[in-house]
Each structure stands twice: as structure tokens, then as C-alpha cells.
Amino acid sequence: MNVLVTGGAGYIGSHAALRLLTDGHAVTIFDDLSRGNRGAVDALRPLGDLCFVEAELGDRAQLDKALTDRSIEVVMHFAAKAYVGESVEIPLQYYRANTAGALSLLEAMVACGVDRFVFSSTCATYGEPPPEHIPITERCPQRPVNPYGRSKLVVEHMLRDHLHAAGDGFAFAALRYFNVAGCDAGGRLGEDHDPETHLVPICLQAALGRRDTLTIFGTDYDTPDGTCIRDYVHVDDLIDAHVTVMDALRPGDSTAYNIGIGAGSSVREVIDASRRVTGVRFPVTEGPRRAGDPPALYADPSHVREELGWSARYTDLDEIIASAWRWFQAHPDGYGG
Ligand code: UFG
């Protein structure tokens, strides 16, 4: 198939492009490189039929050209800004990139007759679910508590409204991810954010000596060890879910799936696993809570398992971290190294 991957130079999007190329699909990456890495595109080039368009989603002329020139049949939409804290400071940029960006893309798809859309949504659309909704099913009320979550939730509404009008002329699936971690098993792609705010890469940078310490954001949560609990899903499993969903999309479909392993790990458990995997007892400091962090978020992934037969193959935190560690060891300076 001919697939447009927006954000294909980013961490998750590049792993999607890798899998699609490996499966023999023709891939067009559409990325403005504001957050993505040219090095990821370069690593993908030898692997198959890849075209790279460096442009913003607001650039309708480039979007229309990419969709028609490459006879795109399905879009996987990853391009987004994804820092919760930053979204509070510069909310309009989040609505511009995430909401208006998706609108521009959808309008271009309609104009060019492309009718299948796989959307990278987030568990942040659930906000801070009450304890009776943990683990989180897709029926949990979506009440985001930050602009990032809201900027993505509006897109889900937009897709549903468009489907209502277009009927069998459109199909979409929204994948609500939990915490994505790990790197491609072949060691070609990795995780390289600037700035880095995510727990697993920060642990590994600390193990490499690239950071003096790691701060635990809050040790007084109402959880067994006092630190926040999250559901860490391996990026290869996440992408496997995308491909499974893409293959299953039928005209008129409108679905949402929670993508996680279905179990939570605390911040302390991630630190312990990172120390075990790396063999480095990097220093850790205890600090205050980070604003907007819910105490516990993990998925009930039974809907996607029952409907599509998908479940995570990596369920062991050490294995997930080990796959990331291989890449961080080989690329201590990320794609720049
Ligand atoms: N944490 C620390 N120290 C750090 C970094 C993180 O203690 O230096 C903690 C956080 O407070 C949180 C946990 O580690 O409790 C995980 O934090 P991450 O920043 O790795 O991930 P988040 O859970 O904040 O964010 C993820 C996705 C977002 C998504 C969000 C939904 O990365 O895109 O889940 O809650 F919006």
C-alpha cells in the first residue's frame, strides 16, 4: 500500500515507517523536522520505497502534492507536539500543531480522495480518571486536564463528525497510547528528543553519565511505593498495533483503542529496572510532584485484543529498557552522534 506517515522523522513515526518499509509498503514521510530527526530519515532510506517531504501540515500545496504524486491510500498521522508541560505554557502552538495540523491534513485527504486515517491519540485525553476507571477502558470519560490532551481530543471529535457526514466514504481509528518506550530491535532507530523529558531515556542518559542525577517527581502519591504508575509499551508493539488496525480498517469504521500492556510500573520500578539493565547505580534525587501528573494510568487493552487479536509481546520492563539501552549505548549523542 502507499502510506503517508506524518511525523515520520520522530521517535514513533520513524518506527512506523521502518515497519511499513520492511513489510513492503511505499512510504512517504511528511515532517517539518521541528521535532523530528533527519538522521532517522537517513537511516530509513536504504530500506525500501521511501519519499521524504520536508514541510508543515499547514502547507496545503505540499500536502496535496504528496497525497496525489504518491497515490496515497492511507494516512498514519503522528506529527504533533507532545510535551504536557509545554502545552500549558504555549497552548496556542499546541492547538496550531495538533488540532489545526490535523484539520489541514483531513481537508487535504478529502480533496485528494484519501479515505483511511490512523490517528495517534493519547491516554492524556482521559485526564485524571477516578480509581474506579483504572485500568482504563475506552469507555472511561475523556476529560483531559491539559492543552495537549485537549488538542488531541478535538481531533478525535473532528474525525467522528467527519465520518458522520462522509459515511462509508471515510474510516478512521484513534489509538490512545500510554507510555511508549524502547527502540527498534535492529538498532537502526532510537529515541532522541530535545529537550528530553521522558523517564526511560532520562534514566539511560543518567546511566551514561550524561546527567548528574535523575529527580523523582513526587514520592507521596497514593501508590504502593509513593511514586507514579504508568503503562510502558514497547514502540515495536505500538507500531504492530498500528499496522494491525490499518489492515483491519473498513469503510465507515470509527474506532478507538487503548494501546498499553495492561499493567503499571512505578517510577521507582523503572529506575530499578534501568539500574539492573545498565549495571550502573546512577544517582537519584527525590523532588516535588510535577504539575499535572496523575498518580496511576494504565490501560485495559482488552478491546483491541478481542476485536483485532493485538496484544503486547514485550511485557517485561527490563526487556523494554534493554532495547532502548542498546541504542543509547551505541548513540550516546542521539542521531547527532
Ligand atoms: N518522571 C520523573 N522524573 C523525570 C521524568 C519523569 O519522576 O525526570 C516521572 C513523571 O513524573 C511520571 C513518570 O515519570 O510520573 C512518567 O513520565 P514521562 O514524562 O516519561 O511520561 P508521562 O507519563 O508524563 O507522559 C506520557 C506521554 C505523554 C502523554 C502522557 C499522558 O509521554 O505524551 O503520558 O499522561 F501525554
Give residue-wise pLDDT tens across range 18-59: 999 999 999 999 999 999 999 999 999 999 999 999 999 999
Tell me how far the alpha carbon of residue 29 lies from the centroid of ligand 1, in angstroms.
27
Protein residue whose Cα sits closest to atom 29 of ligand 1: 124
| Cα(49) to centroid(ligand 1), Å | 35
Task: Indicate which residue's Cα is closest to atom 11 of ligand 1.
Answer: 217
pTM of the model: 0.97
Nearest residue (CA) to ligand 1, atom 16: 199
Tell me which of 120, 128, 214, 217 to substitute to probe ligand 1's pocket, judged by most ligand atoms within 8 Å of the beta carbon.
217
- Which residue, judged by its Cα, is nearest atom 4 of ligand 1? 199
- Which mutation among 136, 198, 212, 268 tests ligand 1's pocket best, with the greatest number of atoms within 8 A of CB? 198
Percent of the chain residues topping a pLDDT of 90: 95
Does 199-230+263-336 carry CATH code 3.90.25.10? Answer: yes
User: Topology of 2-182+232-259 in CATH?
Assistant: Rossmann fold (3.40.50)
For the Cβ of 297 lying below 6 angstroms from any atom of ligand 1, the answer is yes
CA of 153 to the centre of ligand 1 (A): 19
CATH 3.90.25.10 domain span(s) along the chain: 199-230+263-336
Residue 101 CA, ligand 1 centroid: distance in Å: 24
Check whether 293 has a pLDDT greater than 90: no
> How many whole angstroms from 156 Cα to the centroid of ligand 1?
22
Please check the confidence at residue 213 and state whether its pLDDT lies above 70: yes
pLDDT of amino acid 160: 98
Residue intervals in the chain for CATH 3.40.50.720: 2-182+232-259
**198 CA to middle of ligand 1, Å?**
6
Q: Which residues contact 237 (CB under 8 A, 6 or more apart)?
A: 259, 261, 312, 313, 314
User: Mean pLDDT across the chain, nearest whole number?
Assistant: 96
Q: Kind and range of the H or E element at 286?
A: strand 284-287
What pLDDT shows up at residue 337? Answer: 61
Interval 260-284 mean pLDDT = 98
Q: Which residue's CA is the closest to the ligand 1 atom numbered 1?
A: 199
pLDDT band at 2 (very low <50, low <70, confident <90, very high): very high
Say which amino acid occupies 255: T
**Cell numbers that stand for 323 in this block:** 532495547
pLDDT class for 291, splitting at 50, 70, 90?
confident
Task: Write the CB contacts of 94 (distance below 8 Å, at least 6 apart in sequence).
Answer: 81, 86, 87, 147, 148, 151
How far is the C-alpha of 145 from the C-alpha of 142, rounded, in Å? Answer: 10
Residue 85: its pLDDT value, please?
87
Query: Of all atoms in ligand 1, which is nearest to the CA of residue 146?
Result: 36
Please write the tens of the pLDDT for every residue from 144-190.
999 999 999 999 999 999 999 999 999 999 999 999 999 998 889 99
pLDDT score for 292: 78
The CA-CA-CA angle for residues 313, 121, 291, to 5°, reads 100
Segment 278-286 mean pLDDT? 98
Which are the catalytic amino acids? 148
Q: Whose CA is nearest to atom 3 of ligand 1?
A: 216
